Structure 1
Amino acid sequence: MSQSPFPIPDPNLYTEEEIAQLVHTFYAKARNDPSLGPIFEAHVIDWDAHFVQMINFWSAQLRGTSRFRGAPMPKHIALPELTAELFERWLYLFRQTTEELGDPNLQQHANAIASFIASRLWQGYQMSNYPDKQPVALHIA
Structure 2
Amino acid sequence: MPDPALCTEEEITQLIHTFYARVQQDAMLSPIFDAHVDDWPSHLVKMVDFWSSILLGTNRFNGTPMPKHIALPDLNAQLFQQWLKLFHQTAAEQSNQAMAEQACVMADRIARSLWMGYQISHQPDVMPEGLAHG
Q: TM-score w.r.t. structure 1 length?
A: 0.92
Match for residue 5 of structure 1?
none
Question: Aligned runs of 1:122-141 on 2, under 5 Å?
Answer: 122-141=115-134
Q: Which amino acid aligns with 1:10?
A: D
Question: Aligned runs of 1:1-141 on 2, under 5 Å?
Answer: 8-141=1-134
Whether the 8 Å contact between 2:11 and 2:96 is mirrored in structure 1 is no
Q: Where has structure 1 moved over 3 Å in runs of 4 or more? A: none
Q: How many residues align?
A: 134
CA RMSD of aligned residues (A): 0.8
Match for residue 3 of structure 1?
none
Q: Which amino acid aligns with 1:65?
A: T
Q: Which amino acid aligns with 1:36?
A: L
Gaps of 5+ in 2: none
What is the percent sequence identity of the aligned residues? 54
SS in 2 for 1:134: coil
Distance 1:110 1:13 in 2: 10
Distance 1:45 1:86 in 2: 20
